[in-house]
Amino acid sequence: MSEPTIESILQEKRLFPPTPEFSQNAQIQSLEDYQQLYDKAKADPEKFWADLAETQLHWFQKWDTVLDWKPPFAKWFDGGKMNISYNCLDRHLTTWRRNKAALIWEGEPGDSRTFTYAQLHREVCQFANVLKQLGVKKGDVVGIYMPMIPEAAIAMLACARIGAPHSVVFGGFSAEALRDRLIDGEAKLVITADGGWRKDAIVPLKAQVDKALSNNSVPSVTNVLVVKRTQQEIQMEPGRDHWWHDLQQGISADCPAEPMDSEDMLFILYTSGSTGKPKGVVHTTAGYNLYTHMTLQWAFDLKDTDVYWCTADVGWITGHSYIVYGPLSNGATTLMYEGAPRASNPGAFWDVIEKHGVNIFYTAPTAIRAFIKMGEQHPKTRNLSSLRLLGTVGEPINPEAWMWYHRVIGGEKCPIVDTWWQTETAGFMITPLPGAIPTKPGSATLPFPGIIADIVDLEGNTVPDNEGGYLVVRHPWPGMMRTVYGDPDRFRRTYWEHIPPQDGKYVYFAGDGARKDEDGYFWVMGRVDDVINVAGHRLGTMEIESALVSHPAVAEAAVVGKPDEMKGEEVFAFVTLEGDHTPSEELVKELKKHVVQEIGAIARPGEIRFTDALPKTRSGKIMRRLLRNLAAGQEVAGDTSTLEDMGVLDKLREGV
Ligand code: WTA
C-alpha cells in the first residue's frame, strides 16, 4: 500500500456559501442547524436512525432492535418487516403522487417514455409475476445485464418485490466478467436485452449472455428473460430464453409486495478490490432503504416538484441508490438517460435538461471534463435555468472542473454537492447539505449526520489537521455493506482489520487517503490500495494483471494508474513476455483486445510497455510505487534500496 501524499493537493481557500434564497427554502438551512443535527445523531445514533425509520418509511411490522452490532457484523432494525418496492411504489399510490411522473426516460436514438407511479407500479407487478412464473422464489439471485432502459429499473424493483436479490452486472462488462459474477452469485435467471445503445453503437448484450452461459458454464441459470430494445437478430434458445413482451401478455398486474425481514439480502453488487477477484458487496433491505432515502433527501434537498437526473448507469451503485431506490422511495421524479457524453452529439445532455426542465443534475468529474473539452457553447445555447442544484461523485473533482461546473452549468447560483461514498457504503457519507454547508472546490466537506468519519494513521490514531492519512468510519450506519457474498472473512479482513481494532473498537477502512482541514472539511485524495479509478470506474490492478497473464504471450504483468487529464487515471501495463515472444505493435493491440474480452472496454490499457523484468524487492514483491512514477513520466521518488536489481529501472524507462 502506498502512503497518501498531500503535496498534490491544492491549498484551496475559496468558500462558496449557499445563496440566501437557497438556504431559506432548504430542509436544513444553516451551519448551526447542521451542527445540531450532527451532534444529536452522534450522541445517540440509534435513536436518530430509529426516529427517521419510523417517520420516513412504511413497515409491515416494526423492528425489535435498532442496531445489533457484533463487530464487524451489523444488523439494523432486526425483527422488522418491510419491502423496499412497497416503499418506492405502493405507498405513493394512495397520495396525489399516484399520477406524478415517477420515471422519465430518454432513449439514445431520441425516443422517450414516462411512467407515473401508478404505471410503474403496474409494470413492476407484472414483471414480478413473470419472474414468479419462471420459478423465481424468495432468496433466488437474479442476474441483470441490461442497457439503460426503464426495464432495468423495473426488473430491479420486481426482484425486490418478490424478495429475489438482484445482482446487476454493468452492461459494459464482457461475457467472461458476467460469467464469473453469475457463478459467484449462483444466479437462477438472467434478465437482459437484445442489445443496448452505447455511444452511437449497439452493444450485443444477449450475445454476451449466450457466451457467458455457453457449455453450461453457469449451471444454476435455467432461464433468460430478454427485453426487446435494439431489434437486431439474436439467437433464442428454446426452453431457456423468453421474450419479456411475450410473457407480459395477459399476465396479472396484481402482485402484493413480499414482507421481507429487515436484514434479508436486497442485492449483490460486485466491486473491485486490491486483491483477488471482485467482491460481491451485500446490501440488505431496511438499512439500505433508509440510508439511500435520507441521504438523497437531505444532501440534494429534494422537493416534490423536482425533476432529478443522475447520469450514472444502473450497473453501478450510484444507479442503484440514486436513480432507482433513493429517488422512488422519496416519491421523486427520476430521469434516466440511455446516452453518454460523446463528441458526435455534444449538446445531448443540455438538450435533456432543457426538454425536461431538470432541477437537480448529478454526474461525475470525468463527464464534466469531457463537457469542458467539448466547449461551453453547447450548454450556453441551451436554457439551463431550471437547474437549482448540481452534484458530483466518483473521484476527487479538480478545482478547475468544479469552477466550470459552478459557472457554466450552475450559473453561479447552484450549490455543488460533492458526494464522497462507495459501493460499500450504499449512500453519501461525506457531503455538503446544500442549504447549510458552504462549499470549497475539491472538498466533499463534512460528514452526513450519523456518520463518524476520521482520518487516521495505520495504527488507528487520529492524525492532526491537514496531515494526510486514511479515511475511516468509526460507527456503524444503516447503509453499510453487511458482508462479502460468500466470504465473511474477506469482509472482516478487507474493511475492519486493516486498521487494527483499538480496545475492541472496530473502524471501517475505506481504502481512500484523505486529509481534514482546520474547518473539519474532508479532502479525499484517492485510493491508497491497488485500485485505480478510470473515468469514475473502479478497477483492481490485479484483475487486469490476471487478464493479461491469461494471454499465452505474457509471462508477468504489473498494472498501475497513470494520471490522465480526462479520465483521472488510465490503465498502464508493464509486461514481460514468455519465451520467444517478441514485442510488437500487433502484440500491443492483441493484448488490449484480450483485456477487453476478459473484463470489458472500461479496463482496456491505454499503454502497454514491454520489459525484460519488473522491479522487485528481494522478497519478490513488485515495487508498484516505482512503476507509478515511471508511468507518470516522473523521476523515481523515494527509497529504492530494497530493489533487487538496480539495472531494471533504466531498462524500464526506455522500454524494450
Ligand atoms: C472514489 C462510487 C473523491 C473513492 C459512489 C471511493 C470519490 C471510490 C468520490 C468508490 C468523491 C467516490 N471524491 N473520491 N466525491 N466519490 N470517490 O465504489 O476513491 O464505484 O473509494 O462508488 O470512488 O467507488 P465506487
643/116: higher pLDDT: 116
pLDDT, averaged across the chain: 95
Least confident of 143-147, 362-366, 518-522, 642-646: 642-646
Of 421, 429, 440, the residue with max ligand 1 atoms within 8 A of its CB, to mutate for a pocket test, comes to 421
Least confident of 60-64, 149-153, 336-340: 336-340
**Owner of C-alpha cell 519488473:** 614
Average pLDDT (398-408) is 97
Which pLDDT score is estimated for 341?
A: 85
Neighbour tally for 476: CB within 10 Å? 24
DSSP class of 324: I
Q: Using CA atoms, how far apart are residues 520 and 516, in angstroms rounded to an integer?
A: 5
The H-assigned helical ranges of 238-335 are: 244-248, 285-299, 317-319, 326-329
In short, whether 425's Cβ falls inside 6 Å of ligand 1 is: no
Cell of 463: 492524525
**Residue 130 C-alpha to ligand 1 middle, in angstroms?**
36
Give first-to-last CA distance, the chain, whole Å: 28
**Residue 323 C-alpha to ligand 1 middle, in angstroms?**
17
Band of pLDDT at residue 654, cut at 50, 70 and 90: low
**Residue 420 C-alpha to ligand 1 middle, in angstroms?**
6
Question: φ, ψ for residue 352 (rounded to 5)?
Answer: -65, -45
Instruction: Summarize pLDDT for 92-102 with one digit per residue, the tens.
Output: 999 999 999 99
Instruction: Summarize pLDDT for 563-589 with one digit per residue, the tens.
Output: 999 999 999 999 999 999 999 999 999
Which pLDDT score is estimated for 493?
A: 95
In short, whether 57's Cβ falls inside 6 Å of ligand 1 is: no
Of 291, 395, 417, 472, the residue with max ligand 1 atoms within 8 A of its CB, to mutate for a pocket test, comes to 395
**Residue 419 C-alpha to ligand 1 middle, in angstroms?**
8
In short, whether 529's Cβ falls inside 6 Å of ligand 1 is: no
Instruction: Summarize pLDDT for 21-36 with one digit per residue, the tens.
Output: 999 999 999 999 999 9
Average pLDDT (406-415) is 98
Instruction: Summarize pLDDT for 582-633 with one digit per residue, the tens.
Output: 999 999 999 999 999 999 999 999 999 999 999 888 888 888 889 999 999 8
For residue 534, the cross-strand partners are 537, 568
- pLDDT score of 555 more than 80: yes
Of 393, 418, 530, 532, the residue with max ligand 1 atoms within 8 A of its CB, to mutate for a pocket test, comes to 393
**Residue 329 C-alpha to ligand 1 middle, in angstroms?**
23
**Residue 523 C-alpha to ligand 1 middle, in angstroms?**
12
Cα–Cα nearest to 230, from 159, 343, 148: 148
In short, whether 526's Cβ falls inside 6 Å of ligand 1 is: yes
Of 405, 422, 471, 527, the residue with max ligand 1 atoms within 8 A of its CB, to mutate for a pocket test, comes to 422
Band of pLDDT at residue 655, cut at 50, 70 and 90: low
Kindly list the distances between the CA atom of residue 465 and the CA atoms of 32, 456, 462, 520, in Å, as whole numbers in the listed order: 22, 10, 9, 8
In short, whether 511's Cβ falls inside 6 Å of ligand 1 is: yes
Q: Which atom of ligand 1 is nearest to the CA of 531?
A: 19
Q: Which residue pairs from 262-265 have beta carbons closer than 8 angstroms and sit at least 24 positions apart in sequence?
A: 262/63, 262/75, 262/76, 262/77, 262/78, 262/79, 262/80, 262/81, 262/82, 262/286, 262/287, 263/75, 263/76, 263/77, 263/78, 263/482, 264/163, 265/139, 265/165, 265/482
Cell of 398: 479538480
**Residue 393 C-alpha to ligand 1 middle, in angstroms?**
6
In short, whether 423's Cβ falls inside 6 Å of ligand 1 is: yes
Q: What is the DSSP string of 40-88?
A: HHHH-HHHHHHHHHHHHS--SB--SEEEEEETTEEEEEET-EE-HHIII
Cell of 91: 405507498
Average pLDDT (417-421) is 98
Q: Which atom of ligand 1 is nearest to the CA of 430?
A: 15
Q: Which atom of ligand 1 is nearest to the CA of 418?
A: 15
**Residue 396 C-alpha to ligand 1 middle, in angstroms?**
8
**Residue 538 C-alpha to ligand 1 middle, in angstroms?**
8
0.85 surpassed by pTM: yes
Q: Which atom of ligand 1 is nearest to the CA of 423?
A: 18
